[in-house]
Amino acid sequence: MNDCTKAPRRKHKPSHIITSIEQPFLLSSSSLTGNPADQRLSDNNSTTKPDSIRPRSISGQDSRSKSEPHSAPVYNGEGEVLLGGTASSSQLRLRSRAQHHHHHHRPLVKRCLESLTLFSPTSLTVSIQSQNHQSPRTPMIINPTSTQNIPTKSRWFTFEFGIYWIVLAYSLKLIINAAINLSQAEHPNYDSYKHKLSKGWILNRKIDNSDSQYRRFRLGLPKLGLLLIAYLILSKLSQRLLRLKRVHFQSISSAVILTALHGTSVIKILVIVSLNYLISRLSFSSPLNRLPSVLIWTTNLIILFANDYWDGYRFSHLSNSLGFLDNGLYRGLIPRWQIGFNISMLRLISYGLDYQWAAQTNFATLTRSVEPEVEKERAKINRCQSDYDFQIYFNYIFFPPLYIAGPIITFNNFVSQMKKRPSTITVSAILGYTGRFMLCFLTLEWILHYMYMVAIKDARAWQGDTPFELGILGYWNLIIIWLKLLIPWRFFRLWSLLDGIDPPENMIRCMSNNFSTLEFWRSWHRSYNLWIVRYLYIPLGGSKNMIPSTIIVFTFVALWHDLSFKLLTWGWLVSFFVLPEVIAKKIFSKYSYQSQPWFRHLVALGGTLNVMTMMSANLVGFSIGTDGVKFMWQELLGSWSGVRVLFAILFVVFCAVQVMIEYREAEAREGILRKC
């Protein structure tokens, strides 16, 4: 069928998918009145409370009974619920005026203090759609929160946590001071890496702008900002003045930007994209209906290896007369298009598999009015056949805000948001997200001006450093990696939000707020994780085939990042380090240990070991490599002073994991489950 008409929606398999997280809302009087317009808050930092804390009458029934569908809870002048009461609309209007008058005559200090009570430590986590459960439960055994054992009281201000706060505050001071001291001009190793430093802008300090990946983004940020503004202005003008449909503007702008970026290489890209389009639309009758999916994966993996092996191909290989197309004048702003094509490959597979799963159910038929609001539903629900045409496919692959670096959004999700703008995109949400982006950008700027960790690492200028200083060097390199990835991803996601598309947030938590290996990979490059789960992990068998699936997944992830032995080693290390947590999950899930007082401390101990193994694996894959990690552990274990430093690090990490556990339990008390 070619048209989208109203009919029951059909969902393709797989149906069980780890995905993101419905939007949290802040409990307010409007959420108690049942007014849907008031409940649609613009701030994503809030949270919905479970039904268990809704006001009930003395008899134990909900104050809004079935026999009185229009009844509502009654509030007194302080905004408190009078249980079991009902009120007419005129009474509610009078009461609303009284509350408004009372609010504006309260002392300013009192109102400010009351506003502060709305803040929760969990508000520090990035604003994303969050899953709200009436009975929060633990997705992983490493997280001790459970339905039966959610702490009723916060531990933040207990004597135990007072010790943790003191240890962590003192450790943070040492960690920052040690990194700054290693970066001073008076340090003996300064001459070994000073050639990698550039002129900075903060208090005449030099800046460590030696990371080539982030340097390109940082230097190009002003131009990207101008491109963002020009794109949005032209988009609005073309729709209002020229009456150009949004889908046509996206096609034109994508073609122009693609040509500017890659020049004549756009021909190679279009050949690959067209080939994938043709293969994706192949159809076979059962039992060969899975063959197109296998062909889609096989074709794209071959292209991934071929792009690297032939270095993006050359026209001169086809004919010497075409050699002029390889000239730098025709190759665009980013001649090596194959480096960033890995992101596009994920979109090619997403389109192909979404199309195949939809074709197996004869496609879906739905109208704009029934487009789902929840991210998971948008990804799962099939589209009608006309939504899979080449123009929409082209727009999806080359959508300008997300083309270069993501975040990755599935085809079904993208088309759904093109049909109906998500209600999560509001002015306040965009302003808040812009503020977070600026804060993260300035934080990294300060770090690069005062901590030259990347330059020291690249120059291997750690001769004579103590085991503690080597540990500090590794830790701050991981922090910088986290920030240098987070900042571009948030910039491009912000651009996408301004254009009306809400892709998944890639970095949910701070790098230092993870103690579960499994949950860490759900919050780090989250959009990629959602893609992996949907198109690879579940088709391989998911949790029913966990160990082989995990090994295959991390092998693919490593090779997708870079065809190198270093990253392949990283992938296998991560697969190996996941096993202890998987085994612990299976063991402890059979027994009700979660209610025992010692269980939280056992989890913290396991989380401490997880943190150390995750840091080692990521240092191998993305920082100092196998030789650097080997040298670091030799220094930590090769002398008594190194062993003392290691035990001190383990104790500090143990205290930090206790805080991480309490942070997640605070989320559970608010009815928030982020699964990471």
Angle between helix 640-669 and helix 625-637 axes, rounded to 10 deg: 110
State the Rg of the chain over Cα: 27
Q: What does the angle CA 248 – CA 252 – CA 256 come to, to the nearest 5 degrees?
A: 165
User: What is the three-state SS of 124-154?
Assistant: HCCCCCCEECCCCCCCCCCCCCCCCCCCCCC
Tell me the C-alpha distance between 197 and 204, whole Å.
13
Tokens encoding 532: 């992996």
Residue with tokens 């704009």: 368
Among 264, 266, 244, 245, which Cα is nearest to 255's? 266
State CA 551 to chain mean position distance: 22
Give the Cα separation of 174 and 160 in Å (integer).
22
Phi, psi of 198 (to 5 degrees): -125, 170
**Cα 528-532-536 angle, rounded to 5 deg:** 160
DSSP annotation of 673: E
291 contacts: CB under 8 Å, gap ≥ 6: 282, 284
Six token digits for residue 4: 């989208």
CA torsion through residues 133, 135, 139, 140, sign: positive
Type and span of the H or E element at 82: strand 81-82
Residue written as tokens 């590794």?
A: 474
Cβ count near 83 (within 10 Å): 13
| Residue 81 three-state SS | strand
Secondary structure letter of residue 534 according to DSSP: I
Q: Output the furthest CA–CA distance in the chain (Å, rounded).
A: 88
CA distance 429 to 438: 14
Q: Report how far apart, in Å, the C-alpha atoms of 371 and of each of 6, 83, 375, 492, 618 are.
A: 11, 37, 11, 24, 40
The answer to whether 200 and 449 are in contact (CB under 8 A) is yes
Alpha helices in 361-466 (DSSP H): 375-380, 390-397, 400-403, 411-419, 427-450, 453-459
Q: What is the torsion angle, in degrees rounded to the nearest 10, for the CA atoms of residue 28, residue 33, residue 37 and residue 43?
A: 10
Contact 521, 575 (CB under 8 A): no
The Cα–Cα gap between 511 and 225 comes to 27
Q: To the nearest 5 percent, what fractions of the chain are helix, strand and coil?
A: 60, 0, 35
Rounded to 5°, angle at Cα 172 from 181 and 512 = 115
Active site residues: 561
